[in-house]
Amino acid sequence: MNAILPAAIVGSLPKPSWLSEPEKLWSPWKLDGDELREGQLDAQSLAAEEQRRSGIGVISDGEQTRQHFVTTFIEHLSGVDFDRRETVRIRDRYDASVPTVSGAVSRERSVFAEDAKRLRAQTDQPIKWALPGPMTMIDTLYDDHYRSRERLAWEFATILNEEAKELEAAGVDIIQFDEPAFNVFFDELKDWGVAALERATQGLQCETAVHICYGYGIKANTEWKATLGSQWRQYEESFPLLQQSSIDIVSLESHNSRVPVELIELLRGKQVMLGAIDVASDTIETPEEVAATLRRALPYVDAAKLTPSTNCGMAPLSRWVARDKMTALAAGAELLRAELS
Ligand SMILES: [Zn+2]
């Protein structure tokens, strides 16, 4: 793929209603056993095809084989007891009942390599795979074993690195780590957050990305965002550290957000995945609105390093809204591409 401005979604897409209840996070599966596996892979194929038909340039799995972007990965690890649950505060924002780390954490086998091979076989376009980042993982658990957020994060970074290497071997072109926690825990971000993220990417030859956002368009996040004032400057904490890091691509929110666009300057030299689609609203952006959001970033990032994207995952939206938003994203990128060529 040689064209500039290849559009890419951040990660999740809504699942078909025959697979799980739509417009809901942590929605339970409607199938089980072999039928569930078949249904998940069929949904993944559909998600890839819908992206391709919408004009998306970098194809993702739409997270169709996972119930949740963090929990599903952790479910495949040993050392975490899902029957022992404690209530903790997630990203300082809302309470959730979470599983307990009760022993040393380890990964017996790859969680997503088989799914990634299926996606690879389906398209010649570049593919991107998202994994949770170490800091975001520890924030969705109660730790009764290491009793140190830093130590647990390093353990997860090692596990994520093993998984990322298998995804790379499966033919994934871009491995993305989702770190919404980077917008909340600034001391840890500086002390060990970026270092743990780099540990997760150690030795990879493929491109690496980190997605930092203000969360899915759910009530708790919308209410939190309302408290953040007229300018959201949280990225000021992470961007200078990431600019100095080995991570290739940084994914951020922009459209309809109060993030000052000039903060992108702090990433100078890096590739930028810019959110030009609001995932907290059902209103479909026009291609002109998408192009306008992307255009505003051009003083701060070379067009050759810009990937038009969504603000976050689209799992909580309806399938039809998500599909129309993907089409608008690709059309907006095309408008700007034509303008620049
Ligand atoms: Zn996000």
250 in Cβ contact with 267 (< 8 Å): yes
Dihedrals φ, ψ of 188, to 5°? -65, -35
How much is the pLDDT for 23?
86
How far, in Å, from the CA of 313 to the mean position of ligand 1?
6
Closest CA to 308 of 255, 263, 233, 245: 255
How far, in Å, from the CA of 77 to the mean position of ligand 1?
23
How much is the pLDDT for 160?
98
Q: Cα(87)–Cα(90) distance, rounded to whole angstroms? A: 9
How far, in Å, from the CA of 213 to the mean position of ligand 1?
5
Cα dihedral sign for 112, 3, 14, 74? positive
Cα dihedral sign for 49, 213, 316, 201? positive
How far, in Å, from the CA of 208 to the mean position of ligand 1?
16
Dihedrals φ, ψ of 203, to 5°? 80, 0
How much is the pLDDT for 90?
85
How far, in Å, from the CA of 242 to the mean position of ligand 1?
17
How far, in Å, from the CA of 211 to the mean position of ligand 1?
6
How much is the pLDDT for 2?
60
How far, in Å, from the CA of 279 to the mean position of ligand 1?
9
Total residue count of the chain as it appears in this document:
341
The per-residue DSSP string of 113-174 comes to HHHHHHHHHH-SS-BEEEEE-HHHHHTTSEESSS--HHHHHHHHHHHHHHHHHHHHHTT-SE
Dihedrals φ, ψ of 207, to 5°? -75, 150
How much is the pLDDT for 92?
81
The per-residue DSSP string of 214-241 comes to S-SS-HHHHHHHHTS-S---THHHHHHH
| Structure-token pair, residue 97 | 């009942």
How far, in Å, from the CA of 214 to the mean position of ligand 1?
6
Q: Cα(181)–Cα(174) distance, rounded to whole angstroms? A: 21
Q: Cα(85)–Cα(141) distance, rounded to whole angstroms? A: 9
How much is the pLDDT for 320?
97
How much is the pLDDT for 217?
78
How far, in Å, from the CA of 11 to the mean position of ligand 1?
8
How far, in Å, from the CA of 34 to the mean position of ligand 1?
30
How far, in Å, from the CA of 130 to the mean position of ligand 1?
11
9 in Cβ contact with 308 (< 8 Å): no
Determine the angle formed by the axes of helices 194-201 and 235-243, rounding to 10 degrees: 50
Residue 46 CB burial class (10 angstroms; 0-12, 13-18, ≥19): middle
How far, in Å, from the CA of 126 to the mean position of ligand 1?
21
Partners of 142 in the β-ladder: 100
Q: In what order do the strands lie in the sheet with 207-211?
A: 128-132, 174-178, 207-211, 249-252, 271-275, 306-309
168 in Cβ contact with 112 (< 8 Å): no
Closest CA to 297 of 328, 268, 322, 319: 268
How far, in Å, from the CA of 212 to the mean position of ligand 1?
6
Mean pLDDT by 10 residues, the chain (341 residues): 88 96 89 98 98 98 95 96 93 88 97 98 98 96 96 98 98 98 96 98 98 89 90 97 98 96 98 97 97 98 98 95 98 98 89
How far, in Å, from the CA of 12 to the mean position of ligand 1?
9
* Residue spans per domain, the chain: 33-66+112-134+167-340
How far, in Å, from the CA of 117 to the mean position of ligand 1?
24
Q: Cα(296)–Cα(292) distance, rounded to whole angstroms? A: 6
Please state which CATH number belongs to domain 33-66+112-134+167-340. 3.20.20.210
Query: Taking the CB of residue 205, how many other CB atoms lie within 10 A of it?
Result: 7
How far, in Å, from the CA of 62 to the mean position of ligand 1?
13
